[in-house]
Every structure is written in structure tokens, then in C-alpha cells.
Chains A and B, each alone.
Chain A
Amino acid sequence: MATADLAEADSDIYLPLRFGDPGALELAYNRYGGLAYGLSLRIVSDTGDAEEVVQEVFLRIWKSPYSFDPSRGSFRTWLLTLIRNRSIDRLRARHRMPAGAELPVHLEDHSTHSDPWQTLALGLERDAVRKGLDTLPVEQREAIEMAFLSGYTHTEIAERLGLPLGTVKGRLRLGLEKLHGFFATTGLVTR
């Protein structure tokens, strides 16, 4: 996807947000609130915690709209990265685990769909991601999910699975590379 397209995605949200328009926040919530809440709930497994994460992130977006840089990618990926990171923070705090590094914010994705196509497009993307995950060997998928959704570091994953650290690193790398190959055939990734 062209950089200009990335910059335009969700510009109906982030531009008026910069001018303090609450309607833009409502639009963001209507468009991505369900996805954000679903992601947080999947990670923290608690409706109250998930709601608090969603509220915290949406208010951060409201109060600091310039923290999103459209030249680096899409608004949706930025939002979901914030949701994932705050959810992991909450999960690790609950289990008294030391904080790990946050997910680096890499924003590129392909959410240029207008509202009428939003649901359909998201459904197609979801199917593609799930099919990609289904192609992975169980041990690679397990390692990726432990990292991304459970917030374990690669060291903690190795300890929990009783595996050498190098094996875990290898599974994570091989799994992501394989997903990249699959996603490339579906247009989910461009590089």
C-alpha cells in the first residue's frame, strides 16, 4: 500500500481529533471499540479490566491526538498496539510479573475501508489472519500466542515450556516468517 494511502486511512478520525472534536472520538469508538475491547478481553480475561483498558486508551487518544503519526502507518494498528500494551501491563501487574518491553509501535496495515465496507473488510482480514495462524505448527503458534497475547518474554516462555532459549527464539522467528509468507499471498502485508 502506498504511503499516501496509509496516511489517509482513518483521517476522518485523527484529523478532527486534533481539533478537539468529540465526534471524532465517537467515530473511533464506533469503528474500533469492539475490536479494542475484544483484544483486551482476550488478553486480560476480565470484563472490568478490559473496559478500564479501553477507557484509558481512548482517553489517551483524546488528550494526546498528536501522539499518532500518520506518516508511520494506520490509526487502527496504533490504537490496537496501545490496547495490547496496556492490557499486557495490567496482566503482568496482576500476576506481579516484572514489566517487559512494550510492543514496538509499527503501524503499517491496510485499513483504508470506508464504513460501509468496514465490517466486510474486517471479516476478510480476520479470516486471513486465522487461516495463517492455522498453517503454523502447533509449537510455533503456541510460542507466538504466549508472547503476543499472554505477555510472556521469550525467556519466560522458555522457562514455562522447559525449552532452551534458542529454541523459543527460533520458533518465534520461524512462525512470524511463515505468517509473513502466508499474509503476502492475501495482501495483508506488502514488504
Chain B
Amino acid sequence: MSINDKGVIAGWHYDSGFSFRGFTLANGVYTMINNPKGTASGGGTQVFDINNSGAMVGRYNFDFAFIYINGIFKDVKDPIYAIRVEGINDYGYVSGEANAFYPNSSKLFTAHCQ
């Protein structure tokens, strides 16, 4: 769960089927943020961070990183590693873990994504 300078909170919760659901909370209004690819049973969408432009990062179906910009979900992929993206700043730089499925051999990273 994170909060940007405009006071918009982004995060996730479990639904009644124990799948993840992403959301934003702005001025008392909840908006669901759910990646259409996040349909796996028990999967869903987790939103980890939001920047001041409203871009968000998170994951869907446990293993797939995404960035959400201007209402569009885009996968974040590395040519070699499986990755997990957890943070995003106002310039579109993201932070996370590469080769995240194998924690004992993973590296951390930053990258510019759009």
C-alpha cells in the first residue's frame, strides 16, 4: 500500500474468493484496479506503488509484473530474468527484484519503464 503527494492511496485486498484485487482510494472514493490478465484462480492483481502521475506498478497472477499507465496495463519484462516490480517514482523509474522466482540468486534493479 502506498500514498502519493496528491493523497491517492493504492493497494490491494483479498476478495471473497481469496483472489487479490487492486484499488485506489482518492477523496474517499475507491476505484478497482484489476489487470484483465489476472484471472488465475487465487491470483488476481496486487498494486504495490503509485506515483504522482497516477502510474502504478504491481503484479498479477503472482508471477507477472505490470505497470499501469493512463489506464493501460503493460507487462514489465526483462529479456533474461523473471522480475517483480515494487516501486515507481515520478520519472517512471521502477525498482524491484530480478529472477525473483529464485530468491537465492536474485539481483535488485532499477529501470525506466513507459
Task: Say whether A and B bind each other.
Answer: no
